[in-house]
Amino acid sequence: MKTLRTVLITVFVCMLISASFIYFYILRDPAGIEGNHLEESIPSEAIKTVHEKKEYVPVAPDPLEELYKHLDEVNSKGDMVLRAADLVNPDNLYETVDVICTQIGKRVSGEPENYQARQYILGKLRDYGYEYPMLYTQGFYSKFEVKDPPETRTDYYEPDDPVPVYRYSANVIAKLPGKDSNAPIIIIAAHYDSAPTDAIIDNGSGVALALEAARIMKESDLGLNCEIRFCFFSGEEQGLHGAFSYMATMDDEEYEKIAAIINVDMAIMSTKNIEQVVSVGTDGGYDWDGIYRVGTKSEPHENLITYCTRYAYHKLGMDETKLVCPYVNTMTDSVAFHRFRKDAVTFSYRERNPDGTISAPEYIHTEDDTIENTVISSMTDMTKIVMATAVACDQALSR
């Protein structure tokens, strides 16, 4: 009897260990790479240190006519700008927003749903053929100020009695190598975290777009020369923590090769009865000390990406009266790249008010930010615009 008891206890312990292993190393990480971090996790305070690498000078082609002539010549041999747009699959876009916005829901950094969304992104990228070391995560900690301890999952906006809390999250990075090791880098980025809502506008739609871009560029021969890098950031809603973390841990050699950043935030229209336009935001909108807005609003500027956007718009035959380019960003991840002296834009749908001013969609950060309150087809249009622009940027940088 004693021997039988011992055997049963041993079997039970082995089963417990096996179950723990399966949970922590398989179920919690179906993509199999959650632990493959480029850098050690860093707190958000460390992200405030901005690399003043050099004076910021936008990459503007001179003369502009020469750029467009070059793009026309390249695309006359096989129009890759149009082909990239034609390869967009609306079903893939809808699947992503349905999973992360409806099935998973709110994706606040550090919360279980944020982790689930990250795992979904990793799984899709692996399905598309991205593997470590070309696919990895980068961990960091975001500082929250909440009214109560984090397990209450209370709203973190402007608390009366803030209590600082640090929560772990991670960026997801996927790389598509260029034609050689010295090729310029084009980044396509979107943040997957959210306010405490389903958040399809801000920013499940951007995640869907970036995943579809990653699929198309991996599976299709678009004649790309640059390295294309797909960045899915977290911590955006707390102060662009993921984007700042990514740039703050980058070595000089990699930094110098970054040539263009296309950030996507709010890539779907709402059903609100108001004119909505595509904005291509440049600059930081405000002066920043690394995380917090401290200065006055700056002016938008042209750069290589805004020129390529207008070229793409023309090629796609879209209504250019619905394009606001360039526009001034306020609080979005491209600000982090601009603070590091890099050309960056953010593609967004915004609302044009009766007085002509442009504002962010009314539904963001509210319970109205749901699939039912959006125009699904507009997400396909935005994806085509971004794909065409990215390919045009690649062609421009390969001159």
Average pLDDT of the chain, as a whole number: 83
Query: Which pLDDT band, with edges at 50, 70 and 90, does 291 fall under?
Result: very low
Residue 298 has pLDDT above 70, yes or no: no
320-335: pLDDT as tens digits: 999 999 988 767 899 8
Mean pLDDT of 268-274: 96
What is the CATH T-level fold of the domain 42-397, as seen in this structure? Answer: Aminopeptidase (3.40.630)
| pLDDT at res. 242 | 94
Task: Supply the angle between the helices 64-76 and 376-397 in degrees, to the nearest 10.
Answer: 100
Q: Is residue 198 within 8 Å of residue 101, measured between CB atoms?
A: yes
Region of 166 on the Ramachandran plot (φ > 0 left; ψ -120 to 50 alpha; else beta): beta
Task: Determine the pLDDT at residue 84.
Answer: 97
131 band by pLDDT with thresholds 50, 70 and 90: very high
Q: What is the largest CA-CA distance in the chain?
A: 91
Look at residue 231 in the predicted model and tell me its pLDDT: 98
Tell me the pTM: 0.83
The residue assigned the tokens 């779907």 is 268
Give the pLDDT of residue 22: 42
Listed range (132-146, 306-320, 356-370) with the worst mean pLDDT: 132-146
Q: Where are the domains of the chain?
A: 1-30, 42-397
Calpha distance 262→385 (Å, rounded): 11
Q: What is the mean pLDDT of residues 278-288?
A: 71
pLDDT for 5 equals 66
On the question of pLDDT at 205 being above 90, the answer is yes
pLDDT reported for residue 13: 59
pLDDT tens-digit profile of 36-55? 433 334 444 444 444 444 44
What band does 399 get if pLDDT is binned at 50, 70 and 90?
confident
pLDDT band for 288, please (50, 70, 90 cuts): very low
| Mean pLDDT score, 155-171 | 65
**Which residue has better confidence, 242 or 25?**
242
What average pLDDT score do residues 4-19 get? 62
- HSE toward the beta carbon, residue 218, CA cutoff 13 A: 21
135 neighbors 116 (Cβ within 8 angstroms): no
Q: What is the pLDDT of residues 247-259, one digit of tens each?
A: 988 889 999 999 9
Phi, psi for residue 158 in degrees, rounded to 5: 40, 60
Which pLDDT value is given to residue 265?
A: 97
> Is residue 284 over pLDDT 80?
no
Residue 165 pLDDT > 80, yes or no? Answer: no
Residue 280 near residue 344, CB atoms below 8 Å: no
pLDDT at residue 12 in the model:
64
Q: Compute and round to an integer the Cα radius of gyration of the chain.
A: 22
What local confidence, expressed as pLDDT, does residue 331 receive? 77
Exposed/middle/buried for residue 101 (C-beta within 10 Å: 0-12, 13-18, 19+): buried
Instruction: For residue 267, give both structure tokens.
Output: 């890539």
d(CA 227, CA 231): 13
